[in-house]
Structure 1
Amino acid sequence: MTTPAAADPGPPLRTWERRRLRGIERGLRAGGAWARPALCLGLDAATLVLLAAGIFVALPWLFAGCVAANLAVCLHFERSSRPIRRGGNACPR
């Protein structure tokens, strides 16, 4: 009996792949894992409310909604913009 192709683990991971996966795992295990998504969702909700109020109520609310949208985008992308390793190239040769 042969194993299906999906069960084949493939070649062992290279050193840089193991380090990168360990770094990702460490980031997932960090304390306060629910605080950041809750903050992102709260800011997203506030942004939508401010944008809707700006469209239907008054223009200054629209400006506040645009500022909140910029903050929300920065908060969402801030985590993924960190370097994987310090002092080196993120992608090995």
Structure 2
Amino acid sequence: MTTPAAADPGRPLAAWERRRLRGIERGLRTGTRGRLVLCLVLDVLALTLLAAGIFVALPWLFAACVAGNVAVCLHLGRR
């Protein structure tokens, strides 16, 4: 029986690839507390503006879209 291609781990990583992956992983782990608080504040702000836009006035909905985009960029952005 042959091993499926998806189970094949491929060639071992080169030293520079391992260093680069370790650096990316380290960057994802450091400074999470302050960044998490900022992300949560922006999420709450975006949801509040969204609710105000639906129930109060349309300009608040636009502000919610802008705040939501900023929050998403912060969540996905690099350090």
Global fold match (TM > 0.5): yes
Q: Give 2:21's aligned residue.
A: 21
Are 1:71 and 2:74 matched, yes or no?
no
Aligned positions, number: 70
Q: Which runs of 5+ in 1 are unaligned?
A: 1-10, 83-93
Q: How many percent of aligned residue pairs carry the same amino acid?
A: 72
Q: CA RMSD in A?
A: 2.3
The 4+ residue runs of structure 1 with deviation greater than 3 A are 11-14
Letter matched to residue 27 of structure 1: G
TM-score between the two structures when normalised by the length of structure 1: 0.60
In structure 2, the partner of 1:36 is 35
Higher helix share: 2
The residue aligned with 2:48 is 49
- The gaps in structure 2 that reach 5 residues or longer are 1-10
Q: Tell me the SS of whatever aligns to 1:34.
A: helix
Please report the TM-score for the alignment, with normalisation by the length of structure 2: 0.69
